[in-house]
Chain A
């Protein structure tokens, strides 16, 4: 591989049409290398979350190009994009989005079952490993509604890790958590970058959080200013 880029954007521009046509992102050129721990900060409405959802491949309505692992994903079909997300991207949102019908272990395993790279036994083993690293192995058979907010977020992180993604994207992953739990989530992220060379891209408005990351991207009015 000629370079180490996990994610690259070329001239990314995005409009909102409702209620009037409005340019949210203007010609964003960005690249993230393997193993980087990047945070995106900026004022509310600067387009940082919008940028994240474009990069996540879930929002496909934009101009410009997005490359994941040096491969163009712009214009790919819904099915292929879903597969790319399944294989390459792990998500942690502000809200945990655990399926209340499944226990913790199954929630973690679900993206892996979709990928079907491992047998169910292997997958279960891997899920337990991830839960162990996050200190959640005792809760593996509990239902999500029996967990606290911080615990739920740790399960969500385990779920993001299950398919060994190229990059983990976070949209305000600490937004709903108190200081203690926020610090814990940050520590988990930092350990992942150090120990597993995990690439992370986190949108946050928490400056304390951002200041501790390797690289800070600051946005204002749809542009990257630093």
Chain B
């Protein structure tokens, strides 16, 4: 088949109906542009919301869990080795939250080529004394520099500086917590550890993550200060947070470290499983809307091609009389539709990018998300590939039915009818 000739004829037919063609192409342009803008926006939103949690969650966390011993005495008894043993009423065992030999483990992890950085941490419940009442909250002792490197903690500090924590006896409070106790930067707060040590700390900053459940309970201090509050030695650490170069291997690495260090290890995906669900549903919605828009554009193309076929009956008849087969005629109309889809689609990608860029600079300020200043947009070339493939697919389908109708036009009927 002579495709060059067929496309040439298709283009000439389009030129003769330029206005309608442009309207049809604009339909495709609009739906593709909307699809791109919508998907980019939705994905931006997903990344933003995921980031709220995921950026605060280490890829792998090592800790000691409270759990029953894996090896109960009966498994050691020679007589019952081959039996299935049922043990009832086992109680969990607390081996202490302190990670044994933590310095050696951290040194080992820091040499691992798959790991960006390691941040040791102490988490402990404490009481904040505010006048006559005691408020039970959580204190995080962090290695300020590592924590900043992994979690960009300074982004969430709305007052003061995170490096102020390097001073002894300083603390950064969550905004909700500070408000509750009516404290501001520069005030002194008394903290009681679970085993009764009383320490005075100076407030050097206020943090706000945007999640009030966290902002209400969180406070940060340095590792050394936390150890002092709790009355523990300098090798006392309850968590080791690990950031990976490739976060997809988090699950396997968690397993590996569990065996290697005989600690509990959990990866970020297991921790945040519910966030994946939300992202998935938002994605489905944006794709569904995009597809609906394209189907509407498809109907537009179908109508215009149908009309064009009625108008061009004479041309179809003479093409067939002079030696174009039904198949050739069909391809003329399919390529006609494809041209509309391609031109409309390419402009759609262009406008989609423009729309996304416009949304990207619209100011969006909310007190709960201090780091966000504009609406979130996520740019990904795969959206554009999907967009153009969708455009070509729907226009081909929309063109196919009128095209088959044109291929079945009986030239004798048209010519004799005159």
Q: Are A78 and B325 in contact (CB under 8 A)?
A: yes
Given contacts A82-B323, A86-B323, A171-B415, contact A97 B2 (CB under 8 A): no
Shortest Cβ distance from B4 into chain A, in angstroms? 9
Contact A82 B5 (CB under 8 A): no
**Interchain CA distance A151-B151 in the complex, whole Å:** 82
Shortest CB distance B12–A (Å):
4
Query: Once the chains bind, are A95 and B418 in contact (CB under 8 Å)?
Result: yes
Binary interface encoding of chain A residues 114-154 relative to chain B, with 1 for a CB under 8 A from any of its CBs, else 0: 11100000000000000000000000000000000000000
Which of B2, B12, B321, B415 interacts with A99 by CB under 8 Å?
Answer: B12
Partner of A113, one of B2, B320, B325: B2
Q: Decide: A99 near B323, CB < 8 A? Known: A53-B412, A82-B328.
A: no
Query: Does B314 reach chain A (CB closer than 8 Å)?
Result: yes
- Tell me if B274 counts as interface (CB < 8 A to partner A): no
Chain B residues lying within 8 Å of A209, measured Cβ to Cβ, are none
Within the complex, what minimum Cβ distance (angstroms) separates A17 from chain B? Answer: 14
- Which A residues lie at the B interface, using CB under 8 A? 49, 53, 56, 58-59, 78-79, 81-83, 85-87, 91, 93-95, 97-102, 110-111, 113-116, 159, 163, 171
**Is A85 a contact of B321 with CB atoms below 8 Å?**
yes
The answer to whether B13 and A101 touch across the interface, beta carbons within 8 angstroms, is: yes
Within 8 A of A (CB), among B54-103: none
Chain B residues with CB under 8 A of A85: 321-323
Please pick, from A93, A98, A115, A171, the residue contacting B323 in the complex, using a CB distance under 8 A: A115
Q: Does B292 contact A (CB under 8 A)?
A: no
Task: Name which of B2, B318, B410 has the most chain A CB atoms within 10 A of its CB.
Answer: B318
B16 touches A49 (CB 8 A): no
Bound CA–CA A55/B275 (angstroms) = 73
What residues of A have a CB within 8 angstroms of the CB of B168 in the complex?
A: none
Among B5, B321, B324, chain A packs the most CB atoms within 10 A around the CB of B321
Contacts of A171 in B (CB 8 A): 415
- Docked complex: B10-36 residues within 8 A CB-CB of A: 12-13, 15-16
Whether B321 pairs with A114 at a CB distance below 8 angstroms is: no
Contacts of B323 in A (CB 8 A): 82-83, 85-87, 111, 114-115, 163
State the 10 A-B residue pairs at the shortest beta-carbon distance, nearest first: A86-B323, A82-B325, A97-B318, A101-B12, A111-B322, A79-B325, A101-B16, A95-B418, A85-B323, A53-B412
- Quick check: B416 and A49 within 8 Å, CB to CB? yes
Complex A-B: 17 CB contacts under 8 Å: A53-B412, A53-B415, A58-B411, A79-B326, A82-B320, A86-B324, A91-B318, A93-B415, A95-B314, A99-B12, A99-B318, A110-B9, A110-B322, A111-B323, A113-B2, A115-B323, A116-B2
Say yes or no: A99 contacts B315, CB within 8 Å: yes
Bound together, the chains give a CA A116 to CA B1 distance in angstroms of 10
* Interface 1/0 per residue, B158-179 and A, CB below 8 Å: 0000000000000000000000
B317 within 8 A of A: yes
Query: Is the pair A79, B327 in contact by a Cβ cutoff of 8 Å?
Result: yes
- A114-B416 contact given A82-B323, A85-B322, A102-B12, CB 8 Å threshold: no
Contact residues, B178-229 vs A (CB, 8 A): none
Contact A94 B322 (CB under 8 A): no
Closest approach, in angstroms, between the C-beta of B319 and any C-beta of chain A?
8
A38 to B2, CA, bound (A): 35
Q: How far is the CA of A81 from the CA of B16 in the complex (A)?
A: 29
Given A91-B318, A171-B415, 16 more pairs with CB closer than 8 A: A53-B415, A56-B321, A85-B322, A85-B323, A86-B324, A93-B415, A94-B418, A95-B418, A98-B318, A99-B315, A99-B318, A101-B15, A101-B16, A110-B9, A113-B2, A114-B2
Residues of A within 8 A of B324 (CB): 82, 86, 114
Smallest Cβ-Cβ distance to B318: which chain A residue:
A97
User: Which of chain B's residues 303-352 have a Cβ closer than 8 Å to chain A?
Assistant: 314-315, 317-328
A84 to B418, CA, bound (A): 25
Please determine whether B317 and A97 come into contact, CB atoms closer than 8 angstroms.
yes
Residue of B9, B315, B317, B323 with most chain A CB atoms under a 10 A cut-off? B323
A58 touches B325 (CB 8 A): no
* Contact A114:B322 (CB < 8 A) given known A94-B418, A95-B418, A101-B16: yes
| A111 to B5 Cα, complex, angstroms | 10
Q: Tell me the smallest distance from the CB of B414 to a CB of chain A, in Å.
A: 9
Asked if A91 and B326 sit within 8 Å, CB to CB, the answer is no
- Partner of B322 from the list A49, A59, A81, A91 (CB cut-off 8 Å) is A91
